A and B are shown apart, each in its own frame.
Chain A
């Protein structure tokens, strides 16, 4: 979230799309309800009429996987009807930038496409630079090659007629939603988007979000209260786990994982430290080396010295051009290339797309360690459906671990608040927390390496590793401390003192910090995440901002890009919902995006989008794998043979897998029904936690498939019948919920039915609960993130 949960109450228009917030983020509806009672309009766009739709002022159906068409139509509407916030767009976004002459877009492909490698040469998307190396701008937004004009041209194809035919959303509803949402393009109104996995889990997932970012920038909704682009995270600490690099491509704090070709720390820092010749751009990432060196100091402590590149060579490197994402790992495992696997706090036998492939992959392992609270389908895969235990060689270990309430530590919520939790109960006898398991395990490995040596023992033996796990010690290291007596910015710091903020981190080894973004969370003042102080100023009170409650990254800033919420003089666009205000001497309200004075101060000031190289909100996004603008492509599996928008049926840079378990069918009469997967309030993820709770199983006892009355009639299915749902990859038995809440869609002149299933169930428990909906979903992912496309695929349904 650029904003935070409470801030939703400040919105004038709330768009919930790619999310079923009422069911999956029930507490968010506290704030949605407040906003509604303050007069906000709630819009819900979803293939299914859900508990969220039940509370919406406007509900519109949509075919899964056509969000870019829907949002592209909104972009077209905003531009065509001049509903954009002109001053904001011209001053704060890159709409005024001139794009180089090589750029182009033709029939679904951007310039620079290489069909052999299925990838783009992004140099074709570069900006035209002036003699100082700064992008040329036309603030009148009229230049033929300025971003605004390119955007206008690109989305002019997204007409109401065309969008309606692709999405299945009736034209009158499209028009109504466009009108209402575009009404937030004024100074005194703000609109927010609440999205979740309904947007990300597509082969165009990143571009779905990009489309909304463009809309929010056009309407001046970024940085303001009641605005922003707000990802509702699917788990209480997903934000924290991402910040702390649970994914392969990053180090903590979104630093890059080094590639094998970056031999030295100098090469690495040079590659990832952007250089910007414009003195008005803060270009915050210019501080990259301070954060990377401080991280290495946290990893290797005293062993990291300037002479040994602070241990850079001990860090694992990724092979150039290779991905190590989930889908790739399971593909490699399926091919027999992975020997051992820790399934830690996860249940891939049910959670991963194409679950049959994943279950088969587990059988190729020599060993599997399953760390979880309860027995699950992953640890028990060898005795699961279709498995012959006698033929499976995988040795499985089960380590029971403590549940969150049995551990002390922090979680970071979707609004980036790091909140400390105390230990509510002791874990059962012999059960350990994850931190304890990791520390003990690594200490045993270190002992063995010390005794027996190994091929490359340095990374393991030089690690700054504790003897015992202590959450406070870890939190302090994440914040970072000074490694010697030092003077920074005129301030004296003693060795061992906690670093007060990332502005004091250094690239000479005098500071360590496990995650620069969290620098400031555990300082000499104490554990900031444990704060529970509700004091606030009058200005903060008006927008529900609690700066002394817990702690928020970065530097306790509650609304990101808040410098865009004020005009050139530092005065809020909307004084009633001011986030920050320039008093003449300083800023009041939220922690501003840097303390520089407002833009009217000229060279002393900085552009508002400080994390971007040039300092501007990116309507044109030249960094993505699949293009600087979003474009509609059909899902890998779709009811359409042809993409109505262009000749590229699917995202042209999508990564496809080719094992015999990767089967997909499009516009195939055997699989004529569009399908999607989702969650319900009563269960969580694959249900490993909730399927053992009798009250929750009572409320949602088993796998169901929701379908329209029309489809049910066509298939001779009655409500409550047991049915088979089948995709090219697998099939399962579900109970039909025949409902008015799903309706057939009219797509390209013909009727398309859509069904949906939750993915919470598995064969271990309850006994008649059914199995995972991921047996049906395809293992294909977004080209930027490789998040699987589990929200749009094709199936058939028939009565058992």
Chain B
């Protein structure tokens, strides 16, 4: 399995939100109206939306009598077997494509109008796609495919000052992720990589992923399509090999 991948090391993320803003700037996306009234939180906008492909999520908790503040730069995971594509393929061919070179999962905004949004969102194990209520169009992170094809880094990676955002060949990113996991495990025994084998956006978290974000890991009942599930059931080794 080649192509590209992100490695997002949340242990290095300071929630400066350079990635969130840079994403908007590169894609020319407008700001959405936000307010603290009734919200009272630094996570703004509250959630991903049609104009926000990348959102740094802030979660504070008390763990063993100590306050922790976890940051999670949320975005489309560019699944190896994207369930959203399975849904779309059932309606319009080419509404969602997987770029053969990079593995990027790319939405065709016009064609996707013909795919019921509810089904699309339900299929996503990470709750990512967002619809513009006015036009019915659906959008999400596109891996900065235009930049990547031109040999540049995705904008969020280019902007990150601390090394939280990484991007490169999948093998290289997996190796980096495993190396960092081994390092941080010494201090944080709960540290883990999230769904590394099935997505192209691999997160490293230091604690229970649910404490970072409800959809940090794939929810059980969605995410792995029937096709993938069957493949796993009958040929687990082959399936695993297909990942690496």
Which A residues form the contact surface with B (CB < 8 A)?
22-23, 26-27, 29-30, 33, 37, 49, 51-55, 59, 680-682, 694-702, 704, 719-722, 735-741, 768
Contacts and interface: CB of A to CB of B under 8 A. Distances in A.
B31 A697 contact: yes
20 contacts: A29-B16, A49-B67, A49-B69, A54-B68, A54-B70, A54-B71, A59-B66, A681-B15, A694-B30, A695-B25, A699-B17, A699-B34, A700-B42, A704-B40, A719-B40, A721-B40, A735-B36, A739-B60, A740-B67, A741-B60
A27 B14 CA distance: 10
B36 A702 contact: yes
B17 A29 contact: no
Given A701-B34, A737-B40, A695 B21 contact: yes
Contact of B12 (A33, A52, A694, A739): A33
Interface residues of B, number: 38
A26 B18 contact: yes
B163 interface: yes
A696 B21 contact: yes
Contacts of A37: 183
B219 interface: no
Given A54-B71, A680-B42, 12 more contacts: A23-B16, A49-B67, A59-B66, A695-B24, A698-B33, A700-B44, A720-B38, A737-B36, A739-B60, A740-B67, A741-B60, A768-B35
Nearest to A698: B31
Interface string B1-27: 000000000001011111011001100
Contacts of B21: 695-696, 699
Contacts of A701: 34-36, 44
B52 to A, nearest CB: 8
A29 to B, nearest CB: 5
B37 A699 contact: no
A27 B162 CA distance: 7
A702 B33 CA distance: 11
B163 A33 contact: yes
Contact of B162 (A23, A30, A702): A30
A692 to B, nearest CB: 12
A721 B163 CA distance: 37
Contacts of A26: 14, 16, 18, 161-162
B25 A740 contact: no
Nearest to A707: B40
B39 interface: yes
Contacts of A23: 14, 16
B190 interface: no
A484 to B, nearest CB: 49
Closest 3 A/B residue pairs (Cβ): A694-B31, A735-B36, A698-B31
Interface in B170-185: 183
A33 to B, nearest CB: 5
Contacts, number: 105
Contacts of A22: 14-16
Contacts of A738: 40
Interface string B54-96: 0000001110001111110000000000000000000000000
Contacts of B24: 695
A29 B69 contact: no
A695 B31 contact: yes
A29 B161 contact: yes
Nearest to B183: A37
B168 interface: no
B28 to A, nearest CB: 11
Contacts of B136: none
A720 B44 CA distance: 13
A104 to B, nearest CB: 44
A33 B21 CA distance: 22
Nearest to A26: B16
Given A26-B161, A720-B37, A735-B40, A53 B17 contact: no
A681 B37 contact: no
A195 B12 CA distance: 21
Contacts of A699: 17, 20-21, 34, 44
A686 to B, nearest CB: 19
B40 to A, nearest CB: 4
A681 B36 contact: no
A54 B40 CA distance: 19
Contact of A741 (B18, B20, B37, B69): B69
A446 to B, nearest CB: 44
B41 interface: yes
B222 to A, nearest CB: 30
Contacts of B161: 26-27, 29-30
B40 A681 contact: no
B23 to A, nearest CB: 10
A704 B37 CA distance: 9
Contact of A740 (B16, B17, B35, B62): B62
A720 B17 contact: no
Which of the listed residues B14, B21, B44, B66 has the most CB atoms from chain A within 10 Å of its own CB?
B14
A421 B31 CA distance: 30
Nearest to B21: A695
Contacts of B71: 51, 54
B220 to A, nearest CB: 29
Contacts of B42: 680, 700, 737
A775 to B, nearest CB: 18
Contacts of A700: 42, 44
